[in-house]
Structure 1
Amino acid sequence: MATLSARIATFLLVVGSVAGLCGCGGGSKEKPVFKVHGKLTFEGKPMSGAEIAFLPADPAQRGLQSRATANANGEYTLYTYRQNDGAPAGEYVVTLYWPAPLSKRAAEKLEKAETVEEKDAIIAPDRLKDVYRDPLKTKLKATVAEKDNEIDFTLP
């Protein structure tokens, strides 16, 4: 019977060790984030549905992006890891894409699309004519400080 108890104890020790190792991932790799919100306007009107992205100015950090979609009033709140959590402090290149309403034909195609690939292939034209969409060409920049950040973008 002692042999069975020893086996059970060994099994529990191994299982406990493996579970402990799985739980010790060296801590979170998430950077601290700070609230970033603001308003997007074009010619004085809110940019409802515009997609904004903050990409680190340092190309070596470009894998991390903070994004948002503007509401009907043109207001946005960035998220990086979770909804509305903000962005890490630092310097950013900012991209904007403001999709035009889909044509009736494109909307019908989108409605009939069955796969994600088919839906992704139906891209609305950018109302801003892709001027701010390319991170290598956009002139928009922002600094996120270690505080609550209100960053508005007013486009002519």
Structure 2
Amino acid sequence: MQIFLLHRSSIVMLLVLMLTTILPIGCQRASYAEVDVIPVTGQLSVQGTPAHGAYLTFHPRGDVGMSKGNVPFARVLPDGTFQVTTYDTNDGIPQGRYAVTLYWPLDPDARGPSPDRLQGRFSRPEAPAFEAVVDETTTQLGPWDIK
């Protein structure tokens, strides 16, 4: 009986040791950032009205250093402002040139697909709504207004 208890306590100690060394590794926040980003905000309106709920997608024109498929984007708030996200919420965008496409859902709070108020006119990188150049001094894009 003494051998079993010793053996059992050894197993428990081994499990505790494993959990205290392995668990923190699994709980560390992964760094997805490949290149540094510049925090950038902006403002978007359509005929002077804030484009609440519109989505802006920033398509790199050339190599900006991202290889994992991250595509910077932003969602326009009710006041027409936006902050660009690449890796983490509102973290910013890598330096470079971008074609900016625009999708403005009819229902900005829809949980599924919603028709584009702009009927896809600015949804292709080949015919973008805007061009953006981001460098180390850029903090603001726009204000942009679609007529």
TM-score (norm 1): 0.63
Bigger proportion of residues as helix: 1
Q: Secondary structure at the match of 1:68?
A: strand
- What SS does the corresponding residue of 2:100 show, helix, strand or coil? strand
Of 33, 57, 61 in structure 2, the residue corresponding to residue 57 of structure 1 is 61
Q: Distance in 1 between matches of 2:130 and 2:67?
A: 18
Q: Is the 8 A contact 2:122 2:128 kept in 1?
A: yes
Partner residue, 2:126 = 136
Question: Shift of the alpha carbon at 1:124?
Answer: 2.1
The 1:80–1:131 alpha-carbon spacing in structure 2 relative to 1, beyond 3 Å, is same
Deviation at 1:61, TM superposition (A): 5.8
Calculate the aligned-residue CA RMSD, in Å. 3.4
Shift of 1:54: 0.8
What is the total number of aligned residue pairs between the two structures?
A: 137
Q: Displacement of 1:145 after TM fit?
A: 0.9
- Are the equivalent residues in 2 in contact too, given 1:55–1:92 (CA < 8 A)? yes
Corresponding residue for residue 93 of structure 1: 99
**Runs (5+) with no aligned partner, structure 2:** 1-21
The reply on whether 1:76 has 2:82 as its aligned counterpart is yes
Cα offset for 1:68? 1.2
Please state whether the residue corresponding to 1:151 is helix, strand or coil: strand
- CA distance in 1: counterparts of 2:51 and 2:134, whole angstroms: 23
